[in-house]
Structure 1
Amino acid sequence: MSRVAIVYHSAYGRTRSLAEAVLAGVESQPGSHGCLIAVEQVQEHWDELHRADAIIFGAPTCMGSLSAPFRGFMDATAAFYLAQPWRDKLAAGFTHADSLSGDTLNSLLQLAVFASQHGMIWVGLGLLPGTGGEGSSLNRLGCSLGAMAQSLPEHSPQAALALADRRTAACLGQRVAQIAVRLRPDPD
């Protein structure tokens, strides 16, 4: 069985909703088990992260960058950076912003560089760009590097995530899990 950890920060619940969709995608893949780890609780889960076959990172995009609590998590990994316990693990990422661009690509690039610094193997979304705008198209925001989502600001009554964005996040989780199952050596 492959193990996929999803480490995320969520300020208003929307990134957590994406993390839950990623988890659903992971667990839809036979032979995979996923777990959610909020960055606020990561201190109790380092061993679980070190044992995982894949780690999927998620955080909101704030002012064109990853949220400060998520960057704090990234900084905390310096404690084991030289030991390279994440070397050759799969990695992927997702993010959310209030506006259509919100400079979310910058956040995914930060996650990919972070994963590369740990010697991880980045897995992109693997979906063609959607064509449905705010409709039901997968990958409606057209990103290849990871899953992007957009919704109105949290104080707006229409702040819920688009179904297409949640489905896209699930596809990311499923893709990472499929690859992790294929790469995991047989226990025999």
Structure 2
Amino acid sequence: MPRLAIAYWSGSGSISVAARLIAEGARAAGAEVDMIDVSGIDDAGWQALNDATGIVLGTPTYMGGPAAGFKAFMDASGSGIWVERRWLDKLAGGFTSGVNTGGDKLATLHALAIFAAQHGMVWIGQDVIGAPVIEGNRGLNVSGTFLGLAVNSDGEGGLTEGCESSAHHYGARMAAAVQRWG
């Protein structure tokens, strides 16, 4: 069975909510899921990432890029995992949150996609076209971001309207990708 690992760091809580919803969407679509909070990653967490068919990377956008807690995880992967190419050809995707609708979240997704590319991973972006282009998709992909999932924090640890269903959908998208190509 395809195995998806969700590696995330959450500041205010919105990334934890998004990670849980991505996991729910992936499980509903038939994938096994490991959730790994990288703020306390241990050997079992690193092993789960190594064993996964695909890895979804999640961090809030702080000051125009990945949060320092997630960046520490990225940097820690650079010695053994990167050099030994342990994540080579794994599928990868990413998600971020910010309080503002734009909020430079695309810069964070760029950083995550480049990180995945440096590991030799294959990136999976967002597939849903939101409203008003597709009226039936009202509330989905409200940011219009296709590089990955960009959700809006409500400023209190949750997500704004529509972002929950977008996160669930992205989890199903990642599950379908690991089933098809993993």
Tell me the TM-score normalized by structure 2: 0.92
Q: 1:161 to 1:136 in 2, by over 3 A?
A: farther
Q: Percent identity?
A: 34
**Superposed counterparts of 1:99-178, under 5 Å:** 99-131=100-132, 136-154=138-156, 160-178=158-176
Question: In the aligned structure 2, how far is the partner of 1:64 from the partner of 1:84?
Answer: 28
Instruction: Could you tell me which runs of 5 or more consecutive residues in structure 1 were left unpaired when the two chains were aligned.
Output: none
Deviation digits for residues 76-131 of structure 1, max 9, x if unmatched?
00122110010000000000001111100000000000000000000001111433
Quick check: 1:88 aligned with 2:86? no
1:130–1:137 CA contact under 8 A, matched in 2 = yes
Q: 1:152 to 1:175 in 2, by over 3 A?
A: closer
Aligned-residue Cα RMSD (Å) equals: 1.6
SS in 2 for 1:93: strand
**Structure-1 residue corresponding to 2:16:** 16
Q: Bigger shift: 160-169 or 51-60?
A: 160-169
Question: In the aligned structure 1, how far is the partner of 2:71 from the partner of 2:131?
Answer: 30
2:3–2:33 CA contact under 8 A, matched in 1 = yes
Equivalences, count:
177
**Structure-2 residue corresponding to 1:41:** 40
2:132–2:138 CA contact under 8 A, matched in 1 = no
Question: In the aligned structure 2, how far is the partner of 1:5 from the partner of 1:57?
Answer: 9
Question: In the aligned structure 2, how far is the partner of 1:170 from the partner of 1:124?
Answer: 14
Instruction: Could you tell me which runs of 5 or more consecutive residues in structure 2 were left unpaired when the two chains were aligned.
Output: none
- Compare relative contact order (CA 8 Å, sep 6+) and give the higher one, 1 or 2: 2
**Runs of 4 or more consecutive aligned structure 1 residues displaced over 6 Å after TM superposition:** none
Paired amino acid for 1:62 = Y
Question: In the aligned structure 2, how far is the partner of 1:105 from the partner of 1:8?
Answer: 17
1:180 paired residue among 159, 178, 181: 178
1:4–1:177 CA contact under 8 A, matched in 2 = yes
Q: 1:112 to 1:162 in 2, by over 3 A?
A: same
Deviation digits for residues 2-61 of structure 1, max 9, x if unmatched?
00000001111111000001101110112x101110011222311110010000000000
SS in 2 for 1:130: coil
Paired amino acid for 2:131 = G
Paired amino acid for 1:161 = L
